[in-house]
A and B are shown apart, each in its own frame.
Chain A
């Protein structure tokens, strides 16, 4: 017993010494992140959200970039969406944001207001970043008050994902320009013929409600606040509550239980609204055939749609604005990168990359056809503002609509609560 103990403690002492030494070494060894090396080699940090599959594509693209620009090394880092923003927030408060990062429209003004984003206009003028060759005016998408704070990488738009078998059985074919009444008639028919709800529940999707408001000449946000009244939202949610009750929209208890599976692939609903580039999941999750249908309209013409996009933004604190601009330029324009990335982040934003990648899979073809139809039918409009706090507003909209649909909050209460929360978020 005693000898046993001594040996333990002696080896413990050794381990301790060793690990303290190691700690010192790591501390001494790895200071500084993105400094220039002695031979003029520059290292930039690039972070994004996504998973394994996107990581592999991005690694391949970066290998190409480093071959073409041997003096620039790119270090990547990635997390899932929610964790990405947690980490990014911490980095921003520490003044340690990555040189380049993936960004979305809801965060542009927020981080511009916090002085985190680099105005890339200067680099465009210096010729390090080309703004020509973007599809459908996408180069305007990353502008805030005349500053260029984001460069689009791939376009996406809201769409209605439908279970084609269910729609065929109900004998409904959605056509461009169909109205909300026709859409709700279709849902009722689906409920009769397929024995499941028509839609998974559109009432909580902020970006869809935005389209609905835009069809009436309003918008979800103005430059500084909400672009609709309590009466507007009460009407939208009152009707929704009735439709959940009557089973036209799926039972929220069931759809929540089916998560992370979508209500459509879980066979609880015949269709649901989502971003067209999310549709890749449906075919791999469900057994039926899935297609993309147009957004219903109010007047038979306007869908209110615009092309959205993920963007690449640069950090204001970067020590290498030129190299960062060269990297962004390569990632959005190079045809080879277009071939590697495919539709991973939506339909490529530039003509060059879009021409380089021809989708061979069924889902890719559908997305390409859907966006082509949007561009050709000229329904696309200018995007309306997404003020700082838009991300918080989106999350609150989803949560409160869910509580409303579950009946844990009355519509009046949910609307009131939403306006309180949104005002706080937008004024912060």
Chain B
């Protein structure tokens, strides 16, 4: 008896230490987030250089002033633009990458391996190498100051990483399913739509989450391609609060950063349960 009890006490003490340790690490990790949340309720001169998490005298001015907009533009414009861009990117990546992946994974055509290698090779090209040639190209096509340069690539399966992810996933699906579909008279499109896509849901959800977050946070693309503040995304809008020449409005910037986080968090929370669900139910039943 006594042996068991000391054993239990030992386990309990161990688990207590484990939890306290985890909480300590959590506090360190969460400190910057808490600082930002606290900072959004501080007056401007209290934000910079202060390590305090909690404001001494909380104010909501930073949030209330957001309603006035930035540079005569309501902030809902920035959010609308970002949301359009992010959702359109998600749709583009899901459709084009899954189609490309289907071809690579399920269809045997001449030069498949070479093309696949070339596609993976594009992952090695740094973004900044492509920036200027791409800009010149879109400039010649007179597509600057539209969302097309930011979206077109997404509809043409240029995100090699997502294609790769889906190819790997599709290769894991049992061949018997495609064969059964073909016996039932399915062509490639039908097999893609009715057999492969539903089974690929985890890969699709993963791609959707990453695409959404990337598009929402993208700064360089919108900076280069959009020429009117009315078309700006949230990430560009955030930069309008601070410049070396003037008095910086850190309060406004922090408040807007927090608001800007909400859609990303919401999107992740909405889809992550499918992610887990998908992994548990994929494959043969």
CA distance A23 to B84 in the complex (A): 11
Q: Are B146 and A79 in contact (CB under 8 A)?
A: no
User: Is the C-beta of B142 less than 8 angstroms from some C-beta in chain A?
Assistant: yes
How far is B239's CA from A55's CA once the two chains are assembled, in angstroms?
13
- Assess whether B59 is interfacial by the CB under 8 Å rule: no
Residues of chain B whose beta carbon lies under 8 Å from any beta carbon of chain A: 44-45, 48-49, 70-72, 87-88, 91-92, 94-95, 131-132, 135-136, 139, 142-148, 151-152, 155, 193, 197-198, 201, 223-224, 227-229, 236, 239-249, 252, 281
- 7 A-B Cβ contacts within 8 A? A22-B88, A51-B245, A59-B72, A77-B227, A81-B244, A280-B246, A285-B48
Excluding A78-B229, A277-B245, 13 further A-B contacts by CB distance (< 8 Å) are A12-B91, A23-B147, A23-B152, A54-B243, A79-B223, A79-B236, A80-B242, A81-B244, A83-B239, A86-B223, A95-B139, A266-B49, A284-B247
Residues on A with C-beta less than 8 A from B139 are 94-96
Chain A's nearest CB lies how many Å from the CB of B255? 13
Determine if B241 and A52 form an interchain contact, defined as CB atoms under 8 angstroms apart. Answer: yes
Asked if A281 and B94 sit within 8 Å, CB to CB, the answer is no
**A251, B57: Cα distance in complex, Å:** 31
List the B side residues contacting A344 at CB < 8 Å: 245-246
Tell whether A19 is near chain B: CB-to-CB under 8 Å: yes
The distance in angstroms between the C-alpha atoms of A345 and B243, with both chains bound, is 12
Complex contacts, B193 vs chain A, CB 8 Å: 9
A residues 45-61 near B (Cβ < 8 Å) are 45, 47, 49-56, 59
What is the 8 Å Cβ interface bit string for chain A, positions 223-249, against chain B (1 contact, 0 not)?
000000000000000000000000000
Q: Cα distance A29–B143 when bound, in Å?
A: 10
Which B residues are CB-close (under 8 A) to A80? 239-240, 242-244
C-alpha gap A47/B145 in the complex (Å): 14
In Å, the complex CA distance between A22 and B135 comes to: 22
8 A Cβ contacts from A260-298 to B: 260-261, 266, 277-278, 280-281, 284-286
CB pair B136–A94 under 8 Å, yes or no, is yes
* Nearest neighbor of B224 in chain A, beta-carbon distance: A90
Q: Is the CB of B229 within 8 A of A27?
A: no
Is A412 in contact with chain B by the CB < 8 A criterion?
no
A16 at the interface (CB under 8 A from B): yes
Q: Determine the distance from Cα of A77 to Cα of B131 in the docked complex, in whole angstroms.
A: 20
- Tell me, in angstroms, the Cα distance from A45 to B147 when the chains sit together: 18
- Distance, CA A16 to CA B246, complexed state (A): 44
Contact surface of A with B, Cβ cutoff 8 Å: 1, 5, 9, 12, 15-16, 19-20, 22-23, 26-27, 29-33, 45, 47, 49-56, 59, 75-81, 83, 86-87, 90-91, 93-96, 98, 258, 260-261, 266, 277-278, 280-281, 284-286, 344-345
What is the distance, in angstroms, from B76's C-beta to the closest C-beta of chain A?
Answer: 16
Establish whether residues B94 and A12, one from each chain, have CB atoms under 8 Å apart when the complex forms. Answer: yes
Which residue of A12, A19, A52, A261 contacts B71 across the interface (Cβ within 8 Å)? A52
Query: Cα distance A91–B145 when bound, in Å?
Result: 12
**Which of B142, B155, B240, B244 is within 8 Å of A20, CB to CB?**
B155
Q: Which of A19, A26, A277, A344 has the most CB atoms of chain B within a 10 A radius of its CB?
A: A19
Residues of B with C-beta under 8 A to A260: 48, 242, 248
Q: Which residues on A sit within 8 Å (CB–CB) of B144?
A: 33, 94, 96
Contact at A31–B142, with CB atoms within 8 Å? yes
Q: Are A23 and B246 in contact (CB under 8 A)?
A: no
- List, in ascending order, chain A residues with CB within 8 A of B155's CB: 20, 23
Across the two chains, which residue of chain A brings its CB closest to B232? A77
A9, A258, A344, most chain B CB atoms within 10 A: A9
Closest 9 interchain pairs by CB? A55-B71, A51-B243, A31-B142, A94-B139, A80-B243, A30-B146, A94-B136, A261-B48, A94-B135
Q: Which residues of A contact B131 (CB under 8 A)?
A: 90
Nearest CB on B from A13, distance (A): 9
B244 x A31 contact (CB < 8 A): no
Contact A51 B240 (CB under 8 A): yes
- Chain B residues with CB under 8 A of A20: 155
Q: Chain A CB within 10 Å — which of B71, B132, B151 has the most? A: B71
Complex-state Cα separation, A35 to B144, whole angstroms: 14
Q: How far is B244's CA from A91's CA once the two chains are assembled, in angstroms?
A: 23
Known contacts A49-B245, A51-B248, A80-B239; is-contact A87 B224 (Cβ 8 Å)? yes
User: What CA separation (Å) do A51 and B248 show in the bound complex?
Assistant: 8
Chain B nearest CB, measured from A168 CB (Å): 23
Distance A255 CA – B201 CA, assembled complex (angstroms): 52
- In the assembled complex, the CB of A48 is this many whole angstroms from the nearest CB of chain B, namely 10
Closest to A93 in B: B132
What residues of chain A lie closer than 8 Å to B45, measured between beta carbons?
A: 284-286
Assess the B223–A83 pair: CB atoms within 8 A: yes
Collect the chain A residues with CB atoms within 8 Å of residue B245's CB. Answer: 49-51, 54, 81, 277-278, 344-345
Q: Kindly list chain B residues whose C-beta atoms are within 8 Å of the C-beta of A96.
A: 135, 139, 144
Known: A53-B247, A77-B227, A260-B48. A23 touches B198 (CB 8 A): no
Least Cβ–Cβ distance between A344 and chain B, in angstroms: 7
Q: Are A33 and B145 closer than 8 Å at their CB atoms?
A: yes
With the chains together, A52 CA to B68 CA distance in Å? 11
- Which residues on the B side are within 8 Å of A53 (C-beta)? 246-247
The distance from the CB of A267 to the nearest CB of chain B, in whole angstroms, is 10
Residues on B with beta carbons closer than 8 Å to the beta carbon of A345: 245
The reply to whether B197 and A9 contact each other, CB–CB distance below 8 Å, is: yes
Cβ contact of A52, chosen from B49, B70, B94, cutoff 8 A: B70
